[in-house]
Structure 1
Amino acid sequence: MTRPPLRLVVLGLSLSSSWGNGHATTYRALLGAFAERGHAILFLERDVPWYAGHRDLTDPDFCELSFYDDLADLERFRDRIAAADAVVVGSYVPEGVAVGRRVQSWGRGVRAFYDIDTPVTLAKLEAGDHEYLTPDLIRAYDLYLSFTGGPTLRWIEEHHGSPAARQLYCSVDMDAYRAPARAVRWDLSYLGTHSPDRQPTLTRLLLEPARQAPHLRFAVAGPQYPAGIDWPRNVERIEHVAPADHPAFYAASRYTLNVTRADMIRAGYSPSVRLFEAAACGTPILTDRWEGLETVFVPGREILPVDAAGDVLALLEGQPEAERLRVAAGARARVLAAHSAAHRAAELEAHLREAITHNRHVPRDPVRGGTTAGAAMSD
């Protein structure tokens, strides 16, 4: 029997602008594939100047995109939120706690939190920082969708009281990430917004190799890098690469580098969307190490872990071309088999329908808005 389509409302950091954040590309891939499954989506985005000035998607064909000015203006969408089968609030949404409380009050369907920054979020909570989430909101959300898998899911349920924490990794739109035929421009590239905790690894695994091998070519693309960084002459700096240009960027790279934020290394099981994008484009990936990496790609066969500048240079200068291409092909096959946007949209639908079914059988607590059952939905 065919299940009826779902009405989904998402309140996320940004769909319209990929400038300085990885949320937009994540939402675009996931929601595009979710719409292909027949569901209707409304995306609500806070209208803020730093994204308004850098928008690269204003009229998506897979969902309705609307902007709101502030919390008072969000009232315009109260009826839509109430009528939705599910409402998802994302991490780093401006005034996310107040937004979450409104969703808890207005929503009659499943109320979910989508944490695209799970290790950062949990570190902030431990420090008493409730920028966009509080412990009571975790308990009240019917579903906690997490960018981090592994043991963290049980921690969210047992320590923070989530009724159901479920893994929902990032993904890639395989149709959008087809690398064009293009001459190689760089031996090693890196694509990512500057982050102080990533900079030492970027220095060790890209800038130091560049200094030691001036005959090789490198690139670092992304905004917000401070002016004081000493860039070697053979490192090309690119301020921003729009998502539409990512395939061409990867196609121009013999290898690309993945650098993981410190909180995500500590948590493990937190793959970056850049991993899946580069793999989809057929560019082999060098990466730092973190727990759970082997559950995403097979090290040595589908991805190449490196620890120091010497490891990087040994691959750039010594790996046979046939082996380089074999690693790239293995990673792309893995993404096709498990990490495409179509796979992730199917997982999202399964999680939402599980929560819908659960809510039919477990009444909500009228005081705090959550369900009266403290156990996870799978129990």
Structure 2
Amino acid sequence: MSKGSRIAFFGSSLVSAYWNGAATYYRGIIRALHERGHHVTFYEPDAYERQQHRDMADPDWARVVVYSARGTEALERCLEEARDADVVVKASGVGVFDALLEARVLELRRSGNQVVFWDVDAPATLERMEKDPSDPFRALVPRYDHILTYGGGEPVVSAYRALGARECVPIYNALDPHTHHPVAADARFEGDLAFLGNRLPDREARVEAFFLKAASLLPGSRFLLGGSGWGDRALPENVKYLGHVYTQDHNALNCSARAVLNINRDSMARFGFSPATRVFEAAGAGACIITDAFKGVELFLEPGKEILVAHSGEEVAAHVRALSGPESRRIGQAALQRVLSEHTYAHRASKVEEVLGLPSTGTRERVA
């Protein structure tokens, strides 16, 4: 039986989903890698009040090291410790010291290890470099052994290759059945349509178009809005604002509303092939999902059978108006079966092993 690899992972946060949409992705991938025999140390900064809004204790499937964001001394100690790892990962969007980390992790390369850039928001990273030819990360892209992304498909792969990437492979979002699964309905989250997402500049216009427009067209229906930053936003009277919804309540929300809405950010909608973590969370709970249209949706869930697709707020409203309870449950169950068979983080971890050539001591599952 082969020995698993030691992986040093520099990311935004594993233990807090507060203003950190990548948390579910990190948790799913890293837990699955642990179950396959690998040993992950996750280095995260004490920033953005995430440590004050933790939604989990340090897990037994990863070692978590929190370093101070005040000065670089603590970070330098983490980098020195990571020097002995078999794989060193710099994730995008850490939020502090990103430019420093992008360069410094490359200095940890030695004979027998690999240095990986894992882009959890490839559309934003690529658009940033396109707008700024002097972006220092441009020169670093060819030096990484691998570029992994959590979405984007061929458009993202081609863009990274054009920048000189040695290899670029999407490792898509997925379901972690340990954390997202069907539960009993909760009266707090009963409604006709629920949307969960933080208020971000490149998402707000699409939330207005797909969610708030639909609410205005269905004044007799109950809409639920969860996420940070919406408190001072004028909302239709039939929209209940929930505030930040902690991850331990996501299953209840997904199992209580008649349908759950997914809205992609502008950049992800343009690149396509980027289903959000919310899609798999909701599918794992057996929710009926309505999504704004994006290229490649059919690679993950079958439109009309496992997910409903809308091109406008009017189409969202039409779906909600036509959706009966039995039809909602049928679509939700079909989505659940699809993601369990093809789109779990065990499938994604197997793909990571294949790409990086890592030995596994766990049970391999078919890759989606």
- TM-score (normalizing by structure 2): 0.90
Q: Distance in 1 between matches of 2:159 and 2:73?
A: 31
Q: 1:353 to 1:300 in 2, by over 3 A?
A: same
Q: Is the 8 A contact 1:118 1:148 kept in 2?
A: yes
What do residues 5-37 of structure 1 show as CA deviations (whole Å, max 9, x unaligned)? 110010001112101121112111111111111
Provide the aligned length of Structure 1 versus Structure 2.
352
Q: 1:116 to 1:177 in 2, by over 3 A?
A: same
Q: Distance in 1 between matches of 2:91 and 2:181?
A: 28
Q: Is the 8 A contact 1:147 1:169 kept in 2?
A: yes
Q: Distance in 2 between matches of 1:183 and 1:103?
A: 45
Q: Does 1:15 align with 2:14?
A: yes
Question: What's the secondary structure of 1:83's corresponding residue?
Answer: coil
Q: Distance in 2 between matches of 1:77 and 1:91?
A: 17
Q: Does 1:208 align with 2:207?
A: no
Cα shift at 1:118 = 0.3
Q: Is the 8 A contact 1:35 1:41 kept in 2?
A: yes
Aligned to 1:371: none
Q: Distance in 2 between matches of 1:39 and 1:68?
A: 23
Cα shift at 1:197 = 2.7
Q: Does 1:24 align with 2:23?
A: yes
Q: Does 1:294 align with 2:294?
A: no
Percent identity over paired residues? 33
Q: Is the 8 A contact 1:71 1:99 kept in 2?
A: no
What do residues 325-361 of structure 1 show as CA deviations (whole Å, max 9, x unaligned)? 2211121111112211111111122222179xxxxxx
Aligned to 1:139: 142
Aligned to 1:105: 107
Aligned to 1:170: 173
Q: Does 1:76 align with 2:81?
A: no
Q: Distance in 2 between matches of 1:338 and 1:175?
A: 16
Aligned to 1:369: none
Task: List structure 1 segments (4+ residues) > 4 angstroms apart after TM superposition.
Answer: none
Q: Distance in 2 between matches of 1:80 and 1:186?
A: 49
Q: Distance in 2 between matches of 1:211 and 1:205?
A: 10
Cα shift at 1:157 = 4.3
Q: Is the 8 A contact 2:171 2:348 kept in 1?
A: yes
What are the ranges of 5 or more consecutive residues in structure 1 without an aligned counterpart? 356-379
Aligned to 1:4: 3
Q: Is the 8 A contact 2:212 2:236 kept in 1?
A: yes
Q: Is the 8 A contact 1:189 1:218 kept in 2?
A: yes
Taking only aligned residues, the RMSD between alpha carbons, in angstroms, comes to 2.0
Cα shift at 1:167 = 0.8
One-letter identity of the residue aligned with 2:18:
W
Cα shift at 1:182 = 1.3
Q: Does 1:269 align with 2:268?
A: no
What do residues 281-340 of structure 1 show as CA deviations (whole Å, max 9, x unaligned)? 011111111111111111111110112333223322223433322211121111112211
Q: 1:171 to 1:285 in 2, by over 3 A?
A: same
Aligned to 2:363: none
Moved more, 65-74 or 83-92: 65-74
Q: 1:39 to 1:128 in 2, by over 3 A?
A: same
Question: What's the secondary structure of 1:166's corresponding residue?
Answer: strand
Cα shift at 1:207 = 1.7
Note the 1:210-359 alignment, pairs <5 A. 210-225=215-230, 227=232, 229-353=233-357
Aligned to 1:194: 199
Q: Does 1:92 align with 2:96?
A: no
Q: 1:270 to 1:19 in 2, by over 3 A?
A: same
Cα shift at 1:174 = 0.8
One-letter identity of the residue aligned with 2:15:
S
Cα shift at 1:106 = 2.0
Q: 1:28 to 1:130 in 2, by over 3 A?
A: farther
One-letter identity of the residue aligned with 2:259:
Y
Cα shift at 1:276 = 0.4
Moved more, 251-260 or 46-55: 46-55
One-letter identity of the residue aligned with 2:108:
W
Aligned to 1:47: 46
Aligned to 1:63: 62
One-letter identity of the residue aligned with 1:9:
A
